[in-house]
């Protein structure tokens, strides 16, 4: 992946937001590396480039810790999509999205797409325990580094936990987000399309989430490219075409 993405200019920006320990890094890791592993609490934000067809999508995996709160709006600047992540076994993590993270998205694009993702669905939902890949079962099943109290023991013993956040709660929050952004519910994408329940551990719904979202930001990419073409600035990079893997000249 680094080979391909090395010199590309990102076309669009997607940001993962959410409280600490909800599994943002794990979700992204599952999607990019196809596996689940122990992660350590993210510091600051981590930047990834994902090749999506002919497009380059930059993904910011941010730290959920309050320590880095002030950076959130910087990561969100100009974002085309924000993935608001919560933990289905933790009501507070959903509440935090509204209290702490929603205001950070003020710097995002005006037509930014908001996805609500309830992670750790494998802890509450038997159907999420079935993994799409068969090799997953053999992998280590430790939850993320700093244990959220309910997560670790249960995931080890395989029992299901009480689900604290239902899809209806998420849909309701989605409605409130639209209102906060001053968007019409009718003209916006419906909640069913943008509320997901996933499991980074088993891989349940993870690809669906990212792929659906990337499809949704495509218009944004195309519009941006059009704008660029119309703009008086000549983009040397653009002229070389996307297949050109040559480097940009070192001019600054």
Partner 1 sequence: MERDNHQEGEAQGVKICDPPCESNPPADTLATSLSLLGNHMFPDPVERNNSTTVNKQELSNPILSDVTEEEKSVDAEPQSNQVTKLEAEEAEISECQNNASSQTLDEGTEDAATDNDRSDSGEFVVAMLAKAKLEEQGIGVKGRSSPLLEAGIQESPAFMSHRDEDVTAESWRQHRKHVFVLSEAGKPIYSRYGSEEALSSTMGVMMALVSFVQSGDNIIRSVYSAEHTVVFLQKGPLVLVCVSNSRQTEQQLRGELLYVYYQIISMLTQASISRIFEHKKNYDLRRLLAGSEKILDGLLNLVDSDPSFLLAAVHCLPLASSLRDSLSQILLKAITPNLVFSILIANNQLLTIVQEKTVIEDARLEPADVHLLLNLIGASSAFQAGEIWTPICLPLFNPDCYFYAYISYLDPPECTVCLLLLSTDKEAFYAVAECKRKIEEAMTAQNSLSLIAKVQSYSVSQVGVSDLRHFMYKPFDVPDNYRQLTQFTSPEMEAPYSSEEEKMRLLDLYRYMHSRIHSTSRPLKLIYHVAERETLLAWVTSKFELYTCFSPLVTKACAITAITKLLRWIKKEEDRLFIRYPQKYSTTPNPSKSSRGGKSDQQDSTENGFLSLL
Rounded to whole angstroms, the Cα distance separating 113 from 108 reads 9
Chain positions 74 to 103 lying near partner 1, rule: CB under 8 A, are: 74
CB neighbours of 243 closer than 8 A, spacing ≥ 6?
Answer: none
| Shortest separation between residue 216's beta carbon and partner 1, angstroms | 23
**Does 236 interact with partner 1 (rule: CB under 8 A)?**
no
Decide: is 40 part of the binding site for partner 1 (CB under 8 A). yes
| Residue 45 near partner 1 by CB under 8 A | yes
Segments in 6-133 forming alpha helices (H): 24-33, 72-76, 91-96, 126-129
Site mask for partner 1 (CB under 8 A), range 131-150, x = bound: --------------xxx---
Among 15, 17, 42, 80, contact with partner 1 (rule: CB under 8 A)? 42
Contact 18, 24 (CB under 8 A): yes
Task: Tally the C-alpha atoms within 13 A of residue 11's C-alpha that lie toward its C-beta.
Answer: 23
Instruction: Examine residue 106 and tell whether it contacts partner 1 (CB under 8 A).
Output: no
For partner 1, which residue of 14, 22, 29, 178 counts as binding (CB under 8 A)?
29
Residue 188 interacting with partner 1 (CB under 8 A) = no
CA dist., res. 29 & res. 62, Å (int) = 13
- Dig out the tokens for 169 from the structure: 């709660």
Cα–Cα distance between 250 and 248 in angstroms, integer?
A: 6
Q: Which CB, 40 or 234, lies closer to partner 1?
A: 40
Cβ count near 113 (within 10 Å)? 22
The C-alpha atoms of residue 106 and residue 112 are separated, in whole angstroms, by 10
Question: CB atoms < 10 A from the CB of 239, how many?
Answer: 8
Nearer to partner 1, 46 or 95 (CB): 46
The verdict on 4 binding partner 1 (CB under 8 A) reads no
Question: Tokens standing for 202?
Answer: 């088993």
Q: Is 238 in the site for partner 1 (CB under 8 A)?
A: no
Beta carbon nearer to partner 1, 42 or 199 = 42
Site string for partner 1, 46-75 (x = CB under 8 A): xxx------------x-xxxxxxxxx--x-
Residues that bind partner 1 (CB under 8 A): 1-2, 6-7, 20-21, 25, 29, 32-33, 37-48, 61, 63-71, 74, 145-147, 247-248, 250, 252
């Amino acid at each position: 992946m680094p080979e391909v993405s090395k010199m590309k200019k990102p076309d669009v920006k997607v940001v993962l937001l959410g409280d600490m320990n909800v599994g943002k890094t794990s979700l992204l890791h599952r999607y990019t590396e196809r596996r689940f592993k122990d992660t350590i609490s993210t510091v600051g934000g981590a930047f990834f480039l994902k090749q999506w067809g002919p497009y380059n999508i930059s993904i910011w995996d941010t730290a959920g810790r309050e320590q880095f709160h002030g950076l959130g709006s910087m990561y969100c600047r100009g974002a085309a999509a924000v993935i608001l992540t919560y933990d289905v076994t933790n009501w507070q993590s959903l509440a935090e999205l509204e209290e702490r993270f929603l205001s950070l998205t003020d710097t995002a694009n005006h037509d930014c797409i908001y996805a609500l993702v309830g992670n750790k669905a494998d802890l509450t939902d038997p159907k999420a325990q079935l993994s799409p890949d068969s090799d997953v079962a053999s992998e280590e099943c430790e939850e993320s580094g700093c244990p959220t109290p309910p997560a670790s023991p249960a995931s080890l013993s395989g029992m299901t936990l009480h689900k604290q956040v239902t899809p209806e709660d998420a849909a309701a929050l989605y409605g409130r987000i639209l209102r906060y952004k001053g968007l019409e519910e009718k003209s916006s994408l419906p909640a069913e399309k943008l509320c997901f329940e996933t499991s980074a551990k088993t891989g349940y719904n993870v690809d669906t989430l990212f792929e659906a979202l990337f499809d949704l930001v495509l218009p944004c990419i195309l519009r941006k490219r059009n704008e660029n073409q119309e703009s008086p600035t000549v983009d040397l990079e653009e002229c070389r075409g996307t297949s050109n893997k040559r480097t940009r000249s070192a001019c600054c």
